[in-house]
Each structure stands twice: as structure tokens, then as C-alpha cells.
């Protein structure tokens, strides 16, 4: 069980969501969601597959637009920003994708260099090399620098994906199913990496998962998405100390079966 980060600043909301609704064709996945993320906090969003967890962080990063409601990230309402303003905001929000989303025609080095070339134009080649080596060391994969993504394992790809988001020094990290498809040992390493990122880079994070081991290891607070709304929130114990059958089934599957 993770110790709650003492550096969480409850006065400073880095993400504020009110009355968020989103539907796809006739199916409404988010039905008036309210959420706050505080500076320095790791917030875990739990829920079954298809309940809109990934949709939530895609709306936060501006990949999807909400049907209704307000999403404020670092003081800016995402859906009201002009493209250039949205790009500036995105530089402060790192997104780690479920399948890593590494550019498969580029080496690990080129994957990490890609955002730097575009957003840190003042950097020379030597400085870029230094930054790339630093983030690769931070995720423990310096030896893969010249490899292609297809030559990496699932866990390594996840780590490189996280390294690529860290390279622009984001203030907020969004992790989409960080341990999905990984073996238990690699999952533990990824959980440790998420905590390490929080401590070393002083980031706030939303972690989307249905892996309760991951949730317990990285979360300072959890919320559970049920029927399009956050119906449970608090510490791990507070979320699961309930008679709600759906929540019990979720817990039992992870820790009993």
C-alpha cells in the first residue's frame, strides 16, 4: 500500500471537472462527472472496461471534446482554447498510452528526439543527447537507445512511452492502463516507475486502471466510475468498504479469483 504523498497541495487544483457529459452515437458514457486533481496527487480512476475511463483522460488532453460540462486544466478550459493555446497546454500534460503508441518507424532515440526537435528548438544536438540519456536512465532503459520499438518487450515499450512524455517536463501525467497486458513483475516495476516519476518530477497524475494492485500501489486517492458517474471515492479502503455488489465483484475478481 502506498503512503499518501505529503507534498500534495490541496489548495491548488491542477484539474477541475464539473458536470462532464460525453456520448457516442446513442450511448452516453459520461453522465455528469465531477472531479478535482490536486497538485502533487496521484489519482486512480477505477472502472470496468467501456465505462469511459479513457474517454475522460482523452477529454482532459483535448483529444475528444465534451458534449457538456467544464474541464479546466492548469486554470484553462480545454474546449475553449484556440489550437495554439491548446498546444501550449499539451506541453504541460504528458499522456502515456495503453499500447505505448511509440512511432514504429523510428528508433527509441528518434522517438524521444521527435518532441524535442519541435518544442525545444533552442537545444543543440549535444544537449538533446544529454536530455534523452537522462530520461532513458530515469526509466532504466539506456541500453535500448538504438533499438526499434518492435524489438522491445511490452514493459520496455511502456517505459519508453513514459520517457517520451517526461522529456517535455510535464506538470500532469495521464496514464491509460499502465499495467494492462503486463506480467506481475513488470507491472510492479511500472508501478514503482509511476511513483518515482511523481517523486522525482513532482507531477500530478491521473492513472486509469482496473488493476487493483496497481491502484493500491500508486494511488493517493481513488475514484470509481460506475454508470457514467463517480459513485465511490476516497482511499482504497473507503472505496471498497461497501455493500454495492458491483464494487464487491470488482474487488473479488482482483484479489480472490
Interacting residues toward other proteins by CB under 8 A: 23, 25-28, 31, 58, 61-63, 87-88, 90-91, 93, 95, 97-99, 101-104, 114-115, 118-119, 164-165, 168, 228
Output the DSSP codes for 137-194. Answer: HHTT-GGGTT--GGGS-HHHHHHHHHHHHHTT--SEEEEESTTTT--HHHHHHHHHHH
Q: At closest approach, how far in Å is the CB of 232 from other proteins?
A: 21
DSSP 154: H
Rounded Cα gap, residues 233 and 218, in angstroms:
15
**Residue closer to other proteins (CB basis): 182 or 239:** 182
Residue 65 CA to its chain's centroid (Å): 18
**Residue closer to other proteins (CB basis): 91 or 123:** 91
Rounded Cα gap, residues 183 and 243, in angstroms:
31
Answer for the pair 179, 191: CB distance below 8 angstroms, yes or no: yes
Q: At closest approach, how far in Å is the CB of 112 from other proteins?
A: 11
**Residue closer to other proteins (CB basis): 166 or 218:** 166
Q: At closest approach, how far in Å is the CB of 2 from other proteins?
A: 26
Q: At closest approach, how far in Å is the CB of 62 from other proteins?
A: 8
Query: Alpha-carbon torsion 239, 247, 255, 218, what sign?
Result: negative
Q: At closest approach, how far in Å is the CB of 116 from other proteins?
A: 10
Answer for the pair 74, 171: CB distance below 8 angstroms, yes or no: yes
**Residue closer to other proteins (CB basis): 197 or 239:** 197
Q: At closest approach, how far in Å is the CB of 197 from other proteins?
A: 16
**Residue closer to other proteins (CB basis): 62 or 178:** 62
Query: Alpha-carbon torsion 171, 6, 162, 78, what sign?
Result: negative
Helix (H) or strand (E) holding 221: strand 221-226
**Residue closer to other proteins (CB basis): 178 or 212:** 178
Amino acid at each position: 500500500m502506498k503512503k499518501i504523498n505529503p507534498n500534495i497541495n490541496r489548495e491548488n487544483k491542477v484539474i477541475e471537472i464539473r458536470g462532464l457529459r460525453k456520448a457516442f452515437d446513442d450511448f452516453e458514457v459520461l453522465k455528469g462527472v465531477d472531479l478535482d486533481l490536486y497538485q502533487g496527487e496521484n489519482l486512480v480512476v477505477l472502472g470496468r472496461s467501456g465505462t469511459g475511463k479513457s474517454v475522460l483522460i482523452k477529454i482532459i488532453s483535448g483529444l475528444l471534446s465534451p458534449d457538456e460540462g467544464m474541464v479546466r486544466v492548469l486554470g484553462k478550459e480545454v474546449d475553449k482554447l484556440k489550437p495554439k493555446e491548446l498546444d501550449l497546454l499539451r506541453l504541460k500534460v504528458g499522456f502515456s498510452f495503453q499500447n505505448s503508441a511509440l512511432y514504429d518507424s523510428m528508433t527509441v532515440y528518434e522517438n524521444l528526439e521527435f518532441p524535442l526537435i519541435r518544442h525545444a528548438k533552442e537545444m543543440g544536438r549535444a544537449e538533446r543527447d544529454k536530455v534523452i540519456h537522462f530520461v532513458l536512465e530515469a526509466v532504466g532503459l539506456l541500453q535500448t537507445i538504438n533499438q526499434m520499438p518492435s524489438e522491445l518487450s511490452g514493459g520496455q515499450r511502456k517505459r519508453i512511452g513514459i520517457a517520451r512524455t517526461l522529456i517535455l517536463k510535464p506538470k500532469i501525467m495521464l496514464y491509460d492502463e499502465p499495467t494492462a497486458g503486463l506480467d506481475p513483475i513488470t507491472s510492479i516495476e511500472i508501478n514503482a516507475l509511476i511513483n518515482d516519476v511523481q517523486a522525482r518530477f513532482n507531477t500530478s497524475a491521473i492513472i486509469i486502471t482496473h488493476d487493483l494492485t496497481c491502484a493500491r500501489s500508486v494511488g493517493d486517492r481513488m475514484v470509481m466510475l460506475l454508470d457514467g458517474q463517480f459513485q465511490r471515492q476516497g482511499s482504497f479502503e473507503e472505496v471498497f468498504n461497501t455493500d454495492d455488489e458491483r464494487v464487491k465483484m470488482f474487488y473479488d475478481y482482483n484479489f480472490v479469483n
